[in-house]
Structure 1
Amino acid sequence: MPEGHTLHRLARRQQRLLGGQVVAVTSPQGRFANEAAILDGMVFAGAQAWGKHLVQSYRPAGSRKRADERLVHIHLGLYGAFTEEPTPMPDPVGQIRMRVVGRDVGIDLRGPNQCELMTPDQLDALVGRLGPDPLRDDADPAAAFRAIARSSRPVGALLMDQKVLAGVGNVYRAEVLFRAGIDPMRMGKSLSRNEFDGIWHDLLDLMPIGVRRGKMHVVRAEHDRGAPSYAPDRPRTYVYRRAGEPCRICSTPVLTSVLEGRNLFWCPTCQG
C-alpha cells in the first residue's frame, strides 16, 4: 500500500496537470458512472492528501463557493494506481474506475479501495478521525504524542495506526525506529516526549524527500555502502525487508516478526 508521501506527490502532480481546467470525467468501468456524470464539465479545482487519502475537488465553472464544491475521496489500497496519457487519450483498456481528461493530459484511476463522492462535512469527519500528517503544515504532533503516551500497545504498531499518525507505512515505521534506536516492541507509554519529538522531526526530514524524488531515501550517507540487499526497484533501507542480513551499523542479523498483521523488521542490538 502506498505510504503518505506517494499520495502527496500524486496530489501535487494532479494539481499541476489539471488545476483550473474544465475537465471531462467518465467511468469506463461503470462503477463510478453516476458520480462521473455529476463531475463532467466541471473545473478541476485542486487535489490534496491527508495521510493515505487523496481528495480531488471540482467546482462549476465560475463558482468559488464551498457549497458548490464536489469532492472525490480516493484511497488506493493495495492495488489502486493512477496512470497518465497525453490527449487525445487512447480508448480505455481494463477496469478504469475514473478517467479525468484535461487540455493536454488525462488521468486514469484503476483498482482503488475507495472512490466516492464526499461532501465537505464528510471530509471534515474523515480528517477528524486521522492523526496528524507530517507532510501537512497544519499537523499537530502533540495530538499523536498524547495518543501514544496513554497506550500500552507497541510503539511499532502505534506508528502504523492512521488514527494516531497519518501517512506512515511499514517502511517509514521500520526505518525511523531504527534511526532513533528504539525497540518497536516498547509500549507506547514508555516513549518520552524527547524520543517522540526525535521520531517526528525525522519524519519531517525524510517524508518530503519521498514527495520530491518519488522514492524513499532513509539511509544516511555514511552508512550507504555495499550492494543493494534486494531488488533494485526497492528502496535501500537499514532494516526493512532485510531479515537475516547483517545490520548496516553493527552487523547483527536483522530480525523480523509479525506485529498486528504487518511484517516488522528491526536490529536487536541497535534497537535493544
Structure 2
Amino acid sequence: MSQTFLPPKWLQQLCDPYAVLGISVIANERQILKRYHTLAKLLHPDRHAKSCNPNPELATAIFSHLINPAYEQLKHQQKRLIAIAMLRSQSRDLEQKPLSSQSAIAQEIMEMSTPQAELFYEEAIACYAENQYKSLEQFYQVTQQISTLNLVYLRLHKPDLLLTQKTVSILPEVEVKPGELTSDEKIDVKPVLTNYAQRHYQRAIEYVRLAKWPLAVQELRDAIKLEPNNSDYYALLGLVHLRQKFIGMARVYIYQALKLNPQNSLALKYAPEVKIQSGENTNPKSMAKAMSIAALLSRFIHGKGSQVK
C-alpha cells in the first residue's frame, strides 16, 4: 500500500464519519471537537517520525483524506443530520438480514437487554477508539467494527430520536425533577481542582444537578479512566444509574465504591436502596453480569471479533 494513497475501501469509511473519528452517534459538539483535537495530535507527522515504526506519510494521508473530511461533516448540525439519516438507512438494511448472517458483535448486542446494550455500546466505542489509530495498518478493521456498533445502535432506536440532534440514548425516558439532586446531596468535592479526573467529576456533579444523565455518565467514566480507584466516582455513577431506575447497574457501582472505601458517605446512603447489606463481601449478580459484558468486549477488542462478516 502506498503511504500517500489510501485504498478505495478505506475512503468508503467516510459513509460513517462517526466511525472514522471513533465516536458514538450521540456525541455532542464538544465531544466531536475534543476527539478531533486528540487525533490531530496523535497523527502529527513529527510524532510518527520519532516512533519505532515511522510512517508520517500514511498518518498525514489518513488525517487529510479521512479525519478532516469526517470532522467537516460532523461539525455542522445540518450535515450531522444528513449523516445520521444515511446511517439510519444502512441500519434498516441491516435489519433485513437474518441475525445469523451478521457479525458476531451485532449478534451479541441484539441478544442483550436494552440497558446491557446501552452499556456495551458506550464502553465498546471507547475501547475501540483508544486502539483505532495505534496501528495505522489496523485502522480499517477497527473502524469497521465501530461502524457496525453504530448501525446496531441506530437499529435499536426509534426512527425519530436522533433527528432532534439532542443527547439521547436507547434507554427509556425517565421522568425526573432537575432540582431533585441539589442542596440535600452531600457530594464530596475538592475546593481546588488538582487534576483532570476531578475536573470530569466536577462537571458530572453539575450534570447530575441538571438531570442530564448521559452527560454525567460520560464525565464519570472519563474520571474513572484517569483515577480507577476513587470511590467517589463510582458512588456518583451508581447514583446516576439509580435515578434512571437501572437498579442492577446502580448496585454494581455503589458496591464498587464501598469496596474501595467502606466509609463512602454517598454509597452508604444509597446502599439500602439497591439492597446492599452492611459488610456484604460477595459480588452481586449484576456485578457478574457486568463482568461478563466486560469480558465479551475484551474478546472483541483483542481479535476474536475483529473481523466483520
Name the TM-score, length of structure 1 as normaliser.
0.30
Q: Which structure shows the bigger proportion of residues in helix conformation?
A: 2
Q: Which structure shows the bigger proportion of residues in strand conformation?
A: 1
Name the TM-score, length of structure 2 as normaliser.
0.27
